[in-house]
Every structure is written in structure tokens, then in C-alpha cells.
Amino acid sequence: MEDRQATGGATTKVRVNGTPAEATLSTTTGGCPELRWHCAGATAERSLSLEADVLGAVASGKEVVVRAFVADDAARPPPCAKAGGKRRRREYVFEMADGEGAAAAWGGTLRGCLDSFGRPKRLFVLINPYGGKRRASKIYEAEIKPLLEAAGVEVTMQETRYRGHAREVASSLDLARYDGIVCVSGDGVLVELVNGILQRSDWEEAIKMPIGVVPAGTGNGMAKSLLHAASETCSVSDAVFAIIRGHKQALDVCTIAQGEKIVFSVLSTTWGLVADVDIESEKYRWMGSARFDFYALVRIMNLRRYRGSVHFVPAPGYEAYGDPVKQSETPIVEQNGESRVCSYQGPRAEFQGSDWRSIDGPFVGVCVYNVPWAAENAMAAPEAKFSDGYMDAVILKDCPKADLLALLLKMSDGSYVKSPHVTYLKVGHFFPVNLIINLQQFKHRANLLPYSGSSVEFFLTSLTLQVKSFRLSPGQLVEDPKRGGIVDVDGEVVARGEGTYGMNQDQYLMAYGPSVQLTVHQGLATVYRPK
């Protein structure tokens, strides 16, 4: 059979895995390229979408081996129907009745079509063998490597040896040798990669390198967010297949600065309850992701409140939230100076003439999110977008412990935002009048009633704001003024107050107490995503 017949959709006789059949390879313009066959004696035609199902293909002699990643082995009606269920690798051997020439033509057509999708051919894979339950290396060998080999992807693999190693690798890696970088870990290696790339002198080109995320850690918030957005399960195999297919997604990058000190975030910045749970639960890492649920309960039963304040420049439509800040009190947004170590100096944004707003504590916690999922089981910001140029800030003030526990239990699907204790502010949502009244009642009662533990009735105000710029001024514990809190950026501590867990273990990037400035750069980075 000639090549033009293969691409034109002509039917030819074959044997598929030993069973006689008639097969058609269709790559016609405007349709979904697919491989269809009808086995002798079968009632239904079967098909594979070249774009959505096929990993790779190779011709040998008069056989064409098609390596696929499919949900099941049942009939799939064209065009490009997607079957449900868990996907797995399968091989289909097409023995061509017309001999080696037909097999070579089919093999060339299949490879050409797959190449036209823009899939990566060379990947640099970084594995964190210490993350999660320390299974990343085994996951790579058992699940990731076979898929990449089946897709014909050339891989250079390296394991990280210590915290910050991925940042060092990214800052000096010869990116011209690769089409993308893959992180096999939780979210930590991704964050280090982005920070390392932005330290490079060629960061403007380097940051365009697509980054793939395979969930093999504890939190896996980025992988969950990307896969959930495409209605895919958060699994290793689905994440790898998304990388193989090569579809890309722009990703906002947040600059966190304090004076000349700077770090870049792609997930979240937290202070208070969430930061305490994330960092202090490290001692229970052997529990896997269950450590978060367990330690959240511990922290709620021994609830902490922190003094402090936040200032923010709201997105259009949110100018009325918080209290107005006088021009004379407007926070100064410092431009990053030439003395910074990082080649990327953060977004060039001036907010001096902007309408700054403020909210004062005490707070149970303050969180700023860049993606919807903080972890595989925690949808912290249900309407956050990957590249909208905004951050989603969740501010928790006082509330009864039972109500707070109920809210956290509802974070698994994001439904906690429907609680009467929570106001989730997005485009098209309006600030309820009765909540304004409750805020005034809270301020009134807070002035009249001293804090005395759980015997005092507290109110929760959860404000979810879409903001352009955000400034956090963390303070001390209400219950113990000598003790501070933790500022956590993407799972790493950037500042600790006195008396906190692990205070004397490391030197931290920023001081606890002085303001920390967050500013977002829209769509700066690129990640692989499911279509």
C-alpha cells in the first residue's frame, strides 16, 4: 500500500495482535487523526486517536507496533471519543498483508503525525528521592520511565541530593539540549526550578522552558490543579501523559520581597494556621499526606491568633473591601535594585497612586494562592486561575473551633466557601449587607470583650480577594506576645518569629515582623498540562 493511501484513509488488510482485521489510518486535514480497525467476527469497530491515545509507533519488517495509553480495550466510536476509567499502556501489533513497504509507509505516517503535535523529544527529569514517602525513584522506574520510553522521549535523569539542589541545577543547566524539564516530587522541586531559572542571566528565554509536574510528594498542589482543570485524575500516569502530549499552560509567578531580599512563588504564601500546619507537621512526615489532617486537628484544638495587618491593591470590582488607607500611610512598593542577586527583578509595577485597602488582625491565618488546590485533598481557592494576573487572598479571623473544623473538612471540594462564615469574593459576587453588619458587630465586641479562650464568642470573617499587590505585616501571638509565627512560601519557611518550631535550625531569608510585599507577574512561567 502506498503512503498516499495510508494518509488518505484507505482500508487495508492486517492482523491486529494476531487477529485478522481491516484497518484504516486517517490523517485527513480538519479531522482528528485516528487509526481504526474492525476485527473479523467483531460487531464493533475500534479506534485510537493519534493525538489523545497514542504514545508512539515503530515499524519493523512488515509489522507496525503502536504503543497506546488508553482507558480500556473496548470499542471506541470515532471521532476521538474518550473512554472513561483508568488509563494503562497497551501495544497493538499491526502485521501488514502488503508487506514491509506498507509497514514502512504506515510507520512513517504515524511518526510524522505525532511529530506534528509538537510533543517534547528530549526531557530533563529531576527526581526528589526524599519527598513524600521517599518513593519517587521507584515511581520513576515503575511508572514514568516506561511511558517516556514508549513515547520515544530521550531522557536525562538526575536525583536531587539536598534542599536547594534543584535551584542550583536550574541556574546552570544547558537548556538548549532539552524541550522541557520534569519534576518528580511534590511541589518543592517545581518551586526551586522556577527560582533557579529566574536567577539566570538569560532568564527571559529560560523561563519559557516548559516544566512538567509529576505528583510524587506529600502535597502535590500544582499537579492536582493542572489535572483537575482538565477533569483528569491526579495520578502519576496521567501527569506523565500530559507531558508527553506537550500541551502548555502559562503560569503566574508571584514575587515576595522584603527590602533587597526576594523569592518567587508559584503556589501560595501562608501565615498563621495553614503555615503552622504545613511546617510543624514535618515531624509527622512518615504519615504521608495524612500528617496535614492530623496536625490541623491538633492546631485547631490549640488555636492560635496572631496580631498583624494586611494591605492590598484590589482588582477591579473589589475596591470597597477592607478599610481605605490614607495616601500618607500608603505602603511603599519598592522597585528591585541592581544589587539583587537574581537576574529577574520582579514585575515593574507602580502602585503609588492606587487605592490601597487594609485589614487589621488578630488573624487565625492569612493565605495567598496562585492555583486552586493547595494539596491533593485541599481546594483552598476554587476559582483561582493559572494566569489571570491576580492572587487569591483568604483571610481568616476569629471563629469557634467547631466551626473552623467544619470549614477545614469542607476544603476537600472547595465547598467551604459556601459557609455562612465565609465570604468568597470574585468577579460577579457582591458583598452582602448583613456581613457588613457582622463585621461591625465583631469590631464592637472585640473592643469590649477581652480574649479568654474558647469561652468568648468569636466571629469568623473569611475574605477571599483577587488582588494586584498584597503586603503582609505579621505580628506576635495574642496569647503569647513574646512568640511569633511562620511565613511559608510554597512549603518553605522564609521567616520565623521567636519561639516557633525549628527556630534555631536554619538562617531564614527574611526577618519576621517587617512587611513582606507580594506582587504578581502574569503568565511568566510555562507548565505542561492536559489538553
Q: Which residues are catalytic?
A: 187
Give 343's contacts (C-beta < 8 A, 6+ positions apart).
198, 199, 200, 201, 202, 203
Cα–Cα dist 214/185, whole Å: 7
Cα–Cα dist 481/478, whole Å: 6
State the angle between helix axes of 273-280 and 290-301 in degrees (0 to 180), rounded to the nearest 10.
130
Give the SS3 label for residue 314: strand
State the angle between helix axes of 290-301 and 401-409 in degrees (0 to 180), rounded to the nearest 10.
170
475 closest CA partner among 293, 353, 311, 305: 305
Answer yes or no: are the C-beta atoms of 169 and 163 closer than 8 Å.
Answer: no
Which contiguous run of DSSP H or E holds residue 226?
helix 221-229
380 closest CA partner among 296, 315, 298: 296
Burial 457-470 (b: 16+ CB within 10 A, else e): ebbbbbbbbbbbbb
Answer yes or no: are the C-beta atoms of 167 and 192 closer than 8 Å.
Answer: yes
Q: Which amino acid is at 273?
A: L
Distance in angstroms between the alpha carbons of the first and the last residue of the chain: 34
Q: Which residue has the cell 477581652?
A: 450
Q: Phi and psi for 12 in degrees, rounded to 5?
A: -135, 160
- What's the grid cell of residue 230? 482538565
Answer yes or no: are the C-beta atoms of 393 and 465 closer than 8 Å.
Answer: yes
Q: How far apart, in Å, are the Cα atoms of 193 and each of 107, 183, 237, 348, 479?
A: 37, 9, 22, 22, 39
Phi-psi region of 85 (alpha: psi -120 to 50; beta: other; left: phi over 0): left
Check residue 322 and report its DSSP letter: S
Answer yes or no: are the C-beta atoms of 295 and 301 closer than 8 Å.
Answer: no
Q: Which residue has the cell 475574605?
A: 463
Give the SS3 label for residue 510: coil
Q: Which residue has the cell 503566574?
A: 252
Answer yes or no: are the C-beta atoms of 221 and 301 closer than 8 Å.
Answer: no
State the angle between helix axes of 165-172 and 188-197 in degrees (0 to 180), rounded to the nearest 10.
40
Q: Phi and psi for 326 in degrees, rounded to 5?
A: -65, 150
- What's the grid cell of residue 119? 510533543
